[in-house]
Amino acid sequence: MSILLIDDHPLFVDGFKHMLVQLRQHVTVDVALDFATALQRLEDSVDYDIALLDMGLPDTDGYSAIQTIRQRYPLQPLVVLSANEEKNLINQAISSGVQGYIPKSTSSEVMISALNLVLSGGIYIPKIALSAMEAPRPLAITPIASQHEPSDIDELLTQRQITILANLADGLSNKEIARKLNIADGTVRVHMSTIYRVLGVENRTQAVVKASKMGIECM
């Protein structure tokens, strides 16, 4: 698992890296102490399985950071890792497009479980915020899938994209899918972007559920 940790607190960074190494094998953690460094690392085409973002960086505010990453790297899994546990802030972060919000007070075991959930396509919301979350808003655009009968949708997806859907359903990460299919990580991302657009969804879980409901054999 490859992680980009964007946090300007050296003591927390050291402790977090040690915790990951102790609890999970084959983990690499790159650290960016400010947002400018984080963008440079992402620009250098390092394929991170997940990026963890502290909301209190010295060179930008957290929500601007989320918006920038979402615009430039829409398929990059992004999770907030913050000491702030206010429900409205967690709600706002999730609404801004991150795949999770992990309070820094969370136990190491729960942190690992949360990261695994995000890597499998889910969204992690801490219990403290569940009661404050708003119902999901409908997409502002009309998905391509709504313009066709269910039996036609598999004609809009290539066999390769349907195979990638099957691997998403199995919980594989981008890197794992790329290795299994012997293709580049970037190719997987391009296919996933097309899958999301065709099905009118925003994440892996929605894609698998939508495809299943429409009769596409991907499970």
pLDDT in tens, 44-90: 866 788 999 999 899 998 889 999 998 898 888 899 999 988 888 88
Q: Is the per-residue pLDDT at 204 higher than 90?
A: no
Whole-model pTM: value is 0.60
Examine the fold and report which residue of 67, 97, 130 is the final residue of a domain before the chain moves on.
130
Q: Assess whether 104 and 80 both reside in one domain.
A: yes
Q: Is residue 93 part of a domain?
A: yes
Residue pLDDT, tens place only, 110-124:
888 888 878 777 778
Q: Assess whether 29 and 65 both reside in one domain.
A: yes
Number of structural domains in the chain: 2
Note the pLDDT of residue 195.
Answer: 85
Q: Is residue 218 part of a domain?
A: no
Examine the fold and report which residue of 108, 130, 152 is the final residue of a domain before the chain moves on.
130
- What is the pLDDT confidence band of residue 206, given thresholds at 50, 70 and 90? confident
Mean local confidence (pLDDT), 136-162: 52
Q: Assess whether 179 and 104 both reside in one domain.
A: no
Q: Is residue 53 part of a domain?
A: yes
- What is the pLDDT confidence band of residue 148, given thresholds at 50, 70 and 90? very low
Q: Assess whether 31 and 121 both reside in one domain.
A: yes
- DSSP letter, residue 124: B
Q: Assess whether 13 and 82 both reside in one domain.
A: yes
User: In sequence order, what are the residues at sequence separation of 6 or more whose Cβ sits closer than 8 angstroms to the Cβ of residue 92?
Assistant: 63
- What is the pLDDT confidence band of residue 7, given thresholds at 50, 70 and 90? very high
Q: Assess whether 43 and 75 both reside in one domain.
A: yes
Q: Assess whether 12 and 96 both reside in one domain.
A: yes
Cα–Cα dist 70/96, whole Å: 9
Q: Assess whether 94 and 167 both reside in one domain.
A: no
Q: Assess whether 114 and 73 both reside in one domain.
A: yes
Cα–Cα dist 24/115, whole Å: 11
Domain that holds residue 208: 144-213
Note the pLDDT of residue 135.
Answer: 40
Tell me, what CATH number does 151's domain have?
1.10.10.10
- Tokens representing residue 49 in the block: 């399985």
User: In sequence order, what are the residues at sequence separation of 6 or more whose Cβ sits closer than 8 angstroms to the Cβ of residue 12?
Assistant: 104
Q: Assess whether 176 and 118 both reside in one domain.
A: no
Helices 185-199 and 204-213, interaxial angle, to 10°? 50
Q: Is residue 135 part of a domain?
A: no
Q: Is residue 169 part of a domain?
A: yes
Q: Assess whether 121 and 152 both reside in one domain.
A: no
Tell me, what CATH number does 6's domain have?
3.40.50.2300
Q: Assess whether 124 and 153 both reside in one domain.
A: no
Contact yes or no for 36/64 (Cβ under 8 A) = no
Mean residue pLDDT of the chain comes to 79
